[in-house]
Amino acid sequence: MISPELKAAVDRLAEEHRYEYEAAAHEIFLHPEPGMQEYHAVRYLTGLLKERGFRVACPFGGLDTAFLAEYGEGGPRIAFLAEYDALPGYGPQKDQWGHACGHNWIAANAFGACDVLRRMHDEGLIRGTICYVGCPAEETVGGKVNLTEAGCFDDMDAAIQIHIARGHGANLGNTALAMNSIEFIYAGVSSHAAAAPERGVNALDAAYLTFNGINALRQHVTPDVRMHGVIDQGGLAPNVVPALASARWYIRAADRNYLDELEKKVIRCAEGACLMTGAKLEWRYFENRYDNYVRCPELTAAFAETLNLAGETKVLTEAQPASGSTDIGNVSRVCPTGYCELGVGNEDGYDVHEEEFLQYCDGPAAYAGLDKAVRSQAYLAAAICTDQGLQESLRAFKMELKRGNVK
């Protein structure tokens, strides 16, 4: 799939410049920022890419902290998906931001792969366009959803990302549930709960009854469905009938089309609750709608080969049951997408998002995995650029995505 000459070039360039990629991971780790506020990361990364001759568009796709950096011309066009937002709740007072999900590492491995490929392009070893896509706010609103809706991936022939993970091995069997984020807002009428309860309309009762309705619905959905919600407003004092209540729900399913039908039933539960109580209902999406992740078999197989070439002997390719959701699912529905989780070798059981995992997102363990991620992604992109059969397979898969034949 990839010639010995190309593999040797990737290995040579990745080794020569590995400290630059480690420095990028370290810099972003030291400056954690909330989603949609990743201004330092964007300035730093776009600066590195401009210095290396990339054409940079920033802002991009309607988002201030999104950007596109391109090198080369023509096809294939290969997108590397970078993330750089951090998580809250760390430190002694639990008031600090930190990269316990390793997005600093993701931004750096995408940078490293693009830089290696840029140098290979200059040496005349590959053709095509290398695209570094800065994707903000994966942990919150899901910036890739906005970018997908803006058409930013429509002309890409493939998209690639490697995410840090605990333990050993590489997992290409990831799947993800489609998810709709719905907020129900109930308007009632306040009154004295003891002296004049008959004059009130209890908005909180409508929220409770919605929960009861959705709980009854659970026995009539497919096993992949997840429905979980919270009441975030429910009144101010026990002796006043609540005039306002609101609840937020995540509704998930393995298939986008099924989820859209399920959503209608969930909304009817809220409408029925309002019919019973007399409250009035409004609802909205309070976050982006995430699509299920669509695996591309040809890209998965090629990715597994390149991970093996990079020295990863434990590569899982069989699809795993989904439990969570991610904005990379939206990308996967418009262009062939290869997504991998790569372990950094910790054996203490700590996982991403946990404070104890911070130590594995920057430092020796992180950098060893970073080198493997850079090389395996560069191998994969080089294969896409030079393997006509793989290019044809990806084009055919993308056409099936456009026709709606792949779910």
Tell me: do 129 and 260 sit in the same domain: no
Cβ count within 10 A of residue 273: 23
d(CA 266, CA 277): 17
- pLDDT score of 323: 78
Query: Which of 239, 266, 285 is the last residue before a domain boundary?
Result: 285
- pLDDT score of 407: 80
- Compute the mean pLDDT over every residue in the chain, rounded to the nearest whole number: 97
Tokens of 209: 């009854």
Helix (H) or strand (E) holding 130: strand 128-134
Q: What is the CATH number of the domain that holds 184?
A: 3.30.70.360
Tell me: do 219 and 138 sit in the same domain: no
- pLDDT score of 322: 83
Tell me: do 158 and 189 sit in the same domain: no
Tell me: do 162 and 217 sit in the same domain: no
Tell me: do 275 and 334 sit in the same domain: no
Tell me: do 211 and 251 sit in the same domain: yes
Tell me the chain's radius of gyration from C-alpha atoms: 24
Phi, psi of 203 (to 5 degrees): -65, -35
Residues 6+ apart with CB under 8 A from 4: none
* pLDDT tens digits, one per residue of 326-362: 999 999 999 999 999 999 999 999 999 999 999 999 9
Q: Are 80 and 160 in contact (CB under 8 A)?
A: yes
Tell me: do 183 and 170 sit in the same domain: no
Phi, psi of 44 (to 5 degrees): -65, -50
Query: Which of 234, 266, 285 is the last residue before a domain boundary?
Result: 285
The count of domains in the chain is 2
Q: Name the pLDDT band for 77 (thresholds 50, 70, 90).
A: very high
d(CA 56, CA 398): 26
pLDDT for 312 beyond 90: yes
d(CA 114, CA 111): 5
d(CA 35, CA 200): 41
pLDDT for 272 beyond 80: yes
Tell me: do 54 and 107 sit in the same domain: yes
Q: Is 348 exposed, middle or buried (0-12, 13-18, 19+ CB in 10 A)?
A: exposed
Q: Are 133 and 147 in contact (CB under 8 A)?
A: yes
Tell me: do 36 and 151 sit in the same domain: yes
Q: What is the CATH number of the domain that holds 299?
A: 3.40.630.10
Residues counted in the chain: 407
List beta partners, residue 348: none
Nearest to 374 by CA among 10, 2, 16, 8: 10
Residues 6+ apart with CB under 8 A from 286: 181, 182, 183, 248
Tell me: do 218 and 338 sit in the same domain: no
Helix (H) or strand (E) holding 163: strand 158-165
Residues 6+ apart with CB under 8 A from 109: 21, 25, 162, 370, 373, 374, 377
- The whole model's pTM is what? 0.94
* pLDDT tens digits, one per residue of 355-377: 999 999 999 999 999 999 999 99
Tell me: do 138 and 56 sit in the same domain: yes
Instruction: Give the structural domain span for 84.
Output: 4-175+291-403
Tokens of 96: 């600090």
Q: Which residue has the tokens 């019919």?
A: 275
Query: Which of 285, 305, 324 is the last residue before a domain boundary?
Result: 285
Tell me: do 257 and 315 sit in the same domain: no
Instruction: Output the CA angle 263-267-269, nearest 5 degrees.
Output: 120
